[in-house]
Amino acid sequence: MTKTAKAKLQQIQSVKGMHDTLPADQPLWEKIRKTAKTVADFYNFKRIDVPLLERAELYERGIGADTDIVEKQMFLFSTRGKERLALRPEFTAGIARAFIEHGLSQLGSPLKLFSEGPLFRYEQPQAGRYRQFHQLNFEIISNDDDPIYDAQVMIAFWRIVESLKIKNASIAVNSIGCKNCRPAYRKQLTAYYKDHKDQLCEDCRRRLETNPLRLLDCKEEKCRELKKEAPIMIDHLCSHCHDHFKLVLEYLEEIKAPYALDPYLVRGLDYYTKTVFELTAEGVDFSLGGGGRYDYLMELLGGKNAPAVGFAAGVERIIETIKAQNVNLGLKEKAKIFLIYIGDLAKKRCLTIIEDMRRNGIDVAESLGKESLKTQLNLADKAGSPLALIFGQKEAFEDSIIIRDMTTGAQETVPLKKLAESIKRRLV
């Protein structure tokens, strides 16, 4: 390549709204994933993985054609075979499809499922809002709508947040009714907003015809003002939804979950019925996650009736909360013992010593690319290693090795055969 051609090559940047997770952040990510897995295992949620790509129609039908996600936020494309596909913007619709496709109802009821991984939404990136983000997703699919399941998913969510030492978390809860009681409420809400149509933002004027419940979720100041006088769903619940919601709250009280009623809470996905909820915490102004009950989704996707409830927590938002609250999770990596060599013969044999340590379950750090003893000792010191192993020409000939206590500086030569045993004795 000529010099001018090289100069023309521009550095390639990451795609807008999509981020690298660098090594320094990996321990925190790992901790969050581990915490979610521990909670999932304890409450008997089985892992399910669904593809990153699905037919666009799955989300159009499942999430709803008039939702922001489907209207504006899907990464859509056509394949060479002219299939319309979408990068998954959420897990729930994909899990519902898999549940139907594989007849997972045969696994028994309730079926508790856990997923985690990346999702994609074409949004305007800002704090807590990205184009690629990650969720921890929990679902309980059943053959009835027992409110105990609503409480159980909320408890699982709360336990994750609590285990991650996030302070002052609170679950906002509401019921948005079912297909029996919601239409009458919808009518009343529409009538209320129609009377104030000229005070609404442009988006809400349009939504008034398609999805009036979404008006309660508008962030525009003038729409937020109007909301204060709007009719609320809990005043219009049918007796089944009313009793259902009452039990959900009683179960949350039983376990002393930090919940608060929010009669204006609606969610941005159309499949919800009855319970909806979002979890917030001190120090951040976004919700860490949300969820709710979706009793008709399976039928909407061509399956049999299977009421369900679930939630998804946003990993990036959890991380931002942990950072905003200065939570100390004690994530310092445990220092390893450090293997130091002197001379080419020793360097070569270090490869065997490392394998020996691996077989004995002893973690070793090394810097075999560095020759200077001083540099290697400095690195061992920087890494906070409790012990250094020093292996030189003499030791290589004698099949021995020096163990140096990095705190006291005391050294002892031991036979290579006894190395693992000697280290274990020192590390207890």
Query: Which positions touch ligand HAM (CB under 6 A)?
Result: 90-92, 121, 123, 128-130, 133, 135, 137, 139, 268-269, 287-292, 294, 310-314, 316-317
Contact 149, 113 (CB under 8 A): no
Euclidean distance between CA atoms 49 and 94, whole angstroms:
9
DSSP strands (E only) in 322-396: 337-341, 364-366, 387-391
For ligand HAM, the nearest residue by Cβ is 314
* Least spacing, CB of residue 272 vs ligand HAM, in Å: 7
Answer for the pair 204, 193: CB distance below 8 angstroms, yes or no: yes
**Contact, 74 vs 86, CB < 8 A?**
yes
- Residues sharing a CB contact under 8 Å with residue 370, sequence separation 6 or more, in sequence order: 376, 379
Q: Which is nearer to ligand HAM, 153 or 257 (CB)?
A: 153
Smallest gap from residue 140 Cβ to ligand HAM (A):
9
360: Cβ contacts below 8 Å, ≥ 6 apart: 420, 424
Residue among 110 and 291 whose Cβ is closer to ligand HAM: 291
Question: Which is nearer to ligand HAM, 211 or 376 (by Cβ)?
Answer: 211
Choice between 295 and 366, CB closer to ligand HAM? 295
Q: Which is nearer to ligand HAM, 97 or 121 (CB)?
A: 121
Smallest separation (angstroms) from ligand HAM to the CB of 102: 18
Identify which of residues 129 and 186 has a Cβ nearer to ligand HAM in the complex.
129
Shortest distance in whole angstroms from residue 139 CB to ligand HAM: 5
In angstroms, give the least distance from the CB of 79 to ligand HAM. 25
Smallest gap, in angstroms, from Cβ of residue 74 to ligand HAM?
A: 12
Closest CA to 275 of 178, 404, 354, 361: 178
Query: Shortest gap between Cβ of 15 and ligand HAM (angstroms)?
Result: 14
Please list the helix, strand and coil fractions of the chain in percent, rounded to the nearest 5, in that order: 45, 20, 35
> How are beta strands 387-391 and 273-280 bridged, if at all?
unpaired
Between 216 and 312, name the residue whose CB sits nearer to ligand HAM: 312
Q: Determine the Cα–Cα distance for residues 129 and 68; give it in Å rounded to an integer.
A: 14
Q: CB of 132 within 8 A of CB of 20? A: no
Amino acid found at 245: F
Omega into 212 within 30° of 0, i.e. cis? no
Which one, 284 or 416, has the nearer CB to ligand HAM?
Answer: 284
Alpha-carbon span 428 to 425, nearest angstrom: 6
What are residue 158's phi and psi, to 5 degrees?
Answer: -60, -40
Shortest distance in whole angstroms from residue 419 CB to ligand HAM? 48
Of 176, 189, 174, 180, whose CA–CA distance to 238 is shortest?
Answer: 180
